[in-house]
Structure 1
Amino acid sequence: MDNNKRTVVVTGFGPFGEHTVNASWVAVQELKKLGLGNNVELHAYEVPVEYQTVQSLVPSLWKQYHPQLVVHVGVSGMATTVTLEKCGRNHGYKGLDNSSFCPDSQCCIVGGPDCIKSVIDMESVCKRVTASGLGVAVSVSKDAGRYLCDFTYYTSLYMSHGRSAFIHVPPIGKPYSGEDLGLALQAIIREMLELLELLEQAQAKIHCQQVIH
């Protein structure tokens, strides 16, 4: 295996409620067709809208692939832009999932911090993608909505010490096509990988300085 290859896992959600075709999974499938370049191994997964499945699936993806980055994509009926979520929250999960279940504790990880931020600077990603003239509006949010999207994001951030991202997309055709959303995901994730690389280089430098001293 090529050691220079970076591994990225991207997930979208299956159908729920009025979203009989979930725009997030359509967008992820479009991204899979496009790829992230020769040096990135991309794995795509469709996640059912069920708390208990998320609790077992998200940790298993981290253990199986040891990815550089996991990006979760979800649909928001209220979104009109592609929205980068800065953080995941632990408490307040009262909405029932597709199995009519919600956690008794109404939280993701009992005893976990209330909020976990991504190590990726979403404002910077947003600015860079917007400046690239992609033609898809991108924005940043601090509230992923306290449903399966937020639940998945927090679980992943907890597992990865912040090396995860969450992107909300609008429903298909409101205003973007699946192809548009796939291209947007490609541009966004490439920027995220670049920022992560810079972060890693900075951390390695600090580590070297500590060793020398």
Structure 2
Amino acid sequence: MAYPKTILVTGFEPFPGMPVNPTALLMERLPRRLIPEVRGIRFRFEILPTTWAGRFEVTDRLRTELAPHAIVHFGVDGSRRTINIETRAVNRATRVKPDASGAHAETALLEPGAESARTSTLPVRSLHQAAARSGLPVALSRDAGTYLCNATLWDSIGSGIPAVFVHVPPLPRGRFDRRLSLQQMESATVRILQEIRRRI
């Protein structure tokens, strides 16, 4: 019996300054939009803790136990107005901003002695084109920050599993806020995941 290939798809829990994380909501909604298994390829949706400890206790364990064929991380960035597909992760960690447990990164480097940056290993340009077909603003980004989003992408690329990170903006506050709605984010996200499923 052939076992299906797995695409691990993750979002994050809320964290300081972001009491509602749209990526956690996406992880709850996407299973209703995507057929669970097509041509031997299935999605696994998970919500990650926004903590430095969870980087190893949860995220690394998922990679090891599931041994997915691809990983797509989603996270929110309060400064973004568009959907951003991250092209790289950097070997840096902020020690200023606390995580959801109040803890800070232990060191300023994610991996002392390692390279300064790692390149995303899923086809970012094809994913950009797929997301753009939703008619929404999408951009490629070289700056995944220095918080847990960047660290998670760094770790996943380093695991050898094809990986990418997608940043979305916060949800709009009030009817005059022009940021993307959850439904719009979902539309672009579905296209990204369908493209990855087609390619693996």
Is the TM value for this pair above 0.5?
yes
Aligned to 1:155: 155
Distance 1:51 1:57 in 2: 10
Give the TM-score normalised by structure 2: 0.86
Q: Deviations over 1:97-122 (max 9, x none)?
A: 12222233222223332211112231
1:27 aligned onto 2:26? yes
Conserved 8 A contact 1:8-1:43 = yes
Per the TM alignment, residue 2 of structure 1 is displaced from its structure 2 partner at its CA by: 4.6
User: Using the alignment, how far apart are the partners of 1:111 and 1:45 within structure 2?
Assistant: 31
Letter in 2 for 1:178: L
Alignment of structure 1 residues 53-132 onto 2, 5 Å: 53-94=54-95, 95-130=97-132, 132=133
Deviation at 1:57, TM superposition (A): 1.7
Contact between 2:16 and 2:98, CA under 8 Å: does it hold in 1?
no
The residue type paired with residue 167 of structure 2 is H
Pair 1:162–1:68, CA change in 2 (3 A): closer
Structure 1: tracts of 5 or more residues without a match: 198-213
Structure 1 runs, 4 residues or longer, greater than 4 Å off: none
Q: CA deviation at 1:37?
A: 5.5
The equivalent of 1:189 in structure 2 is 193
Match of 1:140 in 2: 140
- Aligned-partner SS, 1:51: coil
Deviations 1:11-63 (A, max 9, x none): 11111123211011112222222125532322111112111111222221111
Residue correspondences, number: 192
Instruction: Point out the structure with max Rg over C-alpha.
Output: 1
State the percentage of identical aligned residues: 24
Structure 2's unaligned 5+ residue stretches are: 173-177
Q: Is the 8 A contact 2:71 2:161 kept in 1?
A: no
The Cα shift of 1:164 comes to 0.9
CA distance in 2, matches of 1:107, 1:33: 39
